[in-house]
Amino acid sequence: MHDIEPHYFWRDDYIASEDENSPFYQRENSEFFFEHKIYNYLIHPQWDPIGSPTLYMKLLFADYIDGYAIMEMFGEWNDCLQNDVMFLKRNIAEPMMDKGISRFVLICENVLNYHGDEDCYYEEWCEEILEMGGWIALVNTLDHVGDEMKATWLDNYISFGPHLNDLNWRKLRPAQLTQKVEMLMDQQPKRIGI
């Protein structure tokens, strides 16, 4: 797990620790010292903590004028034991929403497991985003992760599934990825809340 590092090809355009609107402003990541782990596994030092012991992320890009953010998620998303969505919403999404972000692209190919619980935070986040004219989309979720999310009815609040999987997002620029995700979402039947 320590070899899996966040996407870094957009660093010429955006670095979250240099963005004073970012929740990670002035955060310093070690290049060599492994300080975080998930269970007993050390993880690459470039992943940023969100408050959960099992879920980390990297804010890859934020555009406050066009109102979107792209985040790469990593680890185990555990709402059952850790209430990870609370950390994600309160510590990351809400400060960004206060700065005008209304569209969230969460890249989830490195979310290895999902354990669901209540959907209150998802419902709250969805309602707030809809008032801003935005959305939340999960890209490239693993099949078993998507199945568990669907079993806990998260597709009432967040867009994810086969239509957003298998995207070769690394070859796209941030704006292109956001436009592609939005286009793919528009081609799907609407669910409650999305």
- Please report, in angstroms and rounded to a whole number, the separation of the first and last CA atoms in the chain: 33
Structural domain boundaries in the chain:
50-186
Residue 125 three-state SS: helix
Spatial CA neighbour of 5 closest among 60, 77, 50: 60
> What element of type H or E holds 103?
strand 103-115
Spatial CA neighbour of 107 closest among 134, 78, 145: 145
User: Would you give per-residue pLDDT tens digits along the chain (194 residues)?
Assistant: 677 888 999 999 999 999 999 999 998 877 777 788 888 888 888 999 999 999 999 999 999 999 999 999 999 999 999 899 999 999 999 999 999 999 999 999 999 999 999 889 999 999 999 999 999 999 999 999 999 999 999 999 999 999 999 999 999 999 999 999 999 998 876 654 55
Cβ neighbour number for residue 144 with a 10 Å cutoff? 11
Specify the CATH number for 50-186; select among 3.90.1150.10, 3.30.750.24, 3.40.50.1000, 1.10.3720.10: 3.30.750.24
